Chains A and B, each alone.
Chain A
């Protein structure tokens, strides 16, 4: 599936190297406005909770980092929770044992720890590609999970609180705030970090470094034979993507003021992060972030509606893979499947019946195939 970004599009605005068309500029402004008014929106509706959206944004931010690997080097990491968890635990350890109170310093600690961890895990797992790479990242992630679970200094399965100093909470701008204000302020901190992070990622994806990563992802052998030290580049991308995870994890710890192995390091969190990138559209910059919010929201709503909420996410994944492989943002952008279909419908409403027919036919075909396979498995004959 080639990446058909409108190569002949005409950007209307240019700012700090960011080039956007009118349409994109409109979405950009809308997105930023929405991000900033989320705390107000959550006071209007009960179904929207600030903490849920905040958590979605944080995991989504880790997914933005993961996406650098997924989109360009075409490597699938199944262990990105490792960096999220490293960031979160580094924050907790600094607060608990070093008495660090400043949010800024805590986040710097999270970044440093995640960078070191990504450098080590990257160096060890990038000897392989494909399945073995995925398995190695999964294994390292589980290793860290086991360490967090087993170390009493890290709180075991109970986890660690982040309640440093007499104020019993990290300080923003050297000041302690009431819990409600703290939640809103950290949310805005997250928004600012995300906007900076997206900007940095955008610039990276316009840079020569991206060309190197694309080359490696598309034709690894040729990449070596144009003179690229392949593993060093992939390693660098891995570290950058790990840093995004670390920042997200650090913010998560600061916001929740508590870290547990289940919530940060467990391998299902790695799966979530990967799912978010694909759900939102891994061929886009902001897709993973939106995927993060949508997935965490779905899981939260699902938990209220039914105890089988995993079923819900499973169904969403199936619809996604069969119907919208380009994800939410990938399907909605100009030239994406949704716009194309809408245009068709506007031009000739009768296509609807054709779609209905093809949909029914393809379902019939799938069912027949499945039944045939089942028959072969059960009776050994066709």
Chain B
């Protein structure tokens, strides 16, 4: 279980994360969606969990161990992977090389100076599996920077899955993706996540997607937890609807 305990983070006057306590993965492999208006502190929260930022106060606990002071790469080893809102992949590598790099790292082979990067059979198998799962076979030998946006998002997520995480934190995996491709991206994530029992925490703005796929919804507002509940919360909680959509029932 991945827990945030009384996390607090401010940037100058702005309190981005204000005493957040949450837990993920009590049910292994659950799909949690984080919703909230712009500036609610969603990305900051993910940044704190993954070690991109360190909190001013509070702690992060993974399966009972305090990992608040652990380095970002240490947390990846411990099983927490993430993706970024703006795609961060290795642009001058092909799709296959991107995934190969990830799998080599995950299997602890990157200290090998004299083996062939493409000569580790178990790595190549894993890379092929990832290509198939994320339906990237046709683009395997395309440079990352030449991929269409939807595929870039998929590659980004595939790389995170390639790390064999127990927890996967995705920062708007569907942002900037066309409506048609959105379904495709999120379905792939859900499919692979479910199949591998990965607890997935996703920031998402599209409420249709959240309603359709979420096991649990966390709503953030002004750095605090507005509410945690089933996706039906989006229908029943009028204040939340007003926050998210700018509309209420009295409209």
Contact = CB atoms under 8 A, between A and B. Distances in A.
A207 B163 contact: no
Nearest to A210: B117
Contacts of B77: 227
A226 B159 contact: yes
B105 interface: yes
A200 to B, nearest CB: 8
Contact of B113 (A3, A203, A214, A227): A203
B92 interface: yes
Interface in A208-265: 208-212, 214-215, 218-219, 221-222, 224-230, 233
Contact of A230 (B73, B93, B106, B112): B73
A207 B93 contact: no
Interface residues of A, number: 28
A144 B106 CA distance: 40
B111 interface: yes
B100 interface: yes
Contacts of B71: 224, 229
Given A208-B110, A226-B101, A218 B116 contact: no
A204 B113 contact: yes
A103 B92 CA distance: 43
Contacts, number: 104
B218 interface: no
A46 interface: no
B111 A17 contact: no
Given A226-B163, A227-B105, A207 B117 contact: yes
User: Chain B contact residues (Cβ within 8 angstroms of A): what range?
Assistant: 35 or more
Contacts of A215: 90, 93, 101, 105
Given A208-B115, A211-B110, A229 B73 contact: yes
A224 B84 CA distance: 13
A31 interface: no
B91 interface: yes
A227 B73 contact: yes
B124 to A, nearest CB: 12
B211 interface: no
Nearest to B88: A222
Given A207-B115, A226-B102, 7 more contacts: A7-B94, A210-B117, A211-B97, A211-B104, A215-B105, A222-B88, A225-B88
12 contacts: A2-B91, A7-B94, A7-B141, A204-B113, A208-B115, A208-B117, A219-B88, A221-B52, A225-B73, A226-B76, A226-B105, A227-B77
